[in-house]
């Protein structure tokens, strides 16, 4: 994807890389999920900001010897008894469908890369210039 502007400055080209955001077989929350834990507490998916009103999200950060970086694990526990709960998921129906979003634009003036600020200046000059 690209756009070309011509002016006194020459040719300004703006190029966008299209980024592939296709999901590869991901899972989405199963809204039908309904589970009762060992203490008899019921857990379910809620279509509100608080997706799992009966669960608390726990995090743990640990150092990974394989990639020499920190990883964060997160999991849900029952708010009442602390049992680890795995909310139900189902395969994403959109998985595998091709989806693209425009990435960061690149600006080129007569073939030379320039900064976004410079490009904005040039375009600003152009719109205020004589027609
Ligand atoms: Zn790792
Ligand atoms: Zn519980």
pLDDT confidence tier of residue 128, bands split at 50, 70 and 90: low
Domain region containing 67: 25-96
Residue 85 pairs in a beta bridge with: 76
The better pLDDT of the pair 22, 71 is held by: 71
Whole-prediction pTM: 0.51
Helix (H) or strand (E) holding 81: none
128 and 105 within one domain: yes
79 and 59 within one domain: yes
How many domains is the chain built from? 2
Residues with CB under 5 A from ligand 2 (ion): 37, 39, 41, 78, 80-81, 83
108 and 86 within one domain: no
42 and 2 within one domain: no
How close is the Cα of 70 to the center of ligand 1, in Å? 7
91 and 37 within one domain: yes
- pLDDT tens figures, 66-99: 999 999 999 999 999 999 999 999 988 877 778 8
How close is the Cα of 62 to the center of ligand 1, in Å? 9
57 and 10 within one domain: no
67 and 34 within one domain: yes
89 and 37 within one domain: yes
| Ligand nearest to the backbone CA of 36 | 2
Q: What is the pLDDT of residue 88?
A: 95
Nearest to 84 by CA among 74, 92, 93, 94: 74
How close is the Cα of 53 to the center of ligand 2, in Å? 12
129 and 88 within one domain: no
Euclidean distance between CA atoms 96 and 99, whole angstroms: 9
How close is the Cα of 50 to the center of ligand 2, in Å? 17
């Amino acid at each position: 994807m690209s756009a070309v502007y011509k002016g006194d400055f020459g040719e300004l080209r703006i190029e966008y890389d299209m980024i592939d955001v296709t999901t590869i077989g991901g899972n989405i929350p199963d809204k039908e999920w309904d589970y009762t834990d060992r203490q008899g507490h019921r857990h379910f998916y809620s279509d509100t900001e608080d997706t799992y009103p009966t669960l608390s999200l726990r995090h743990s950060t640990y150092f990974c010897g394989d990639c020499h970086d920190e990883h964060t694990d997160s999991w849900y526990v029952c708010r009442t008894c602390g049992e680890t709960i795995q909310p139900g998921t189902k395969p994403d129906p959109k998985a595998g469908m091709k989806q693209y979003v425009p990435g960061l634009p690149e600006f080129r003036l007569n073939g030379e890369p320039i900064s976004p600020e410079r490009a904005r200046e040039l375009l600003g000059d152009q719109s205020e210039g004589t027609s």
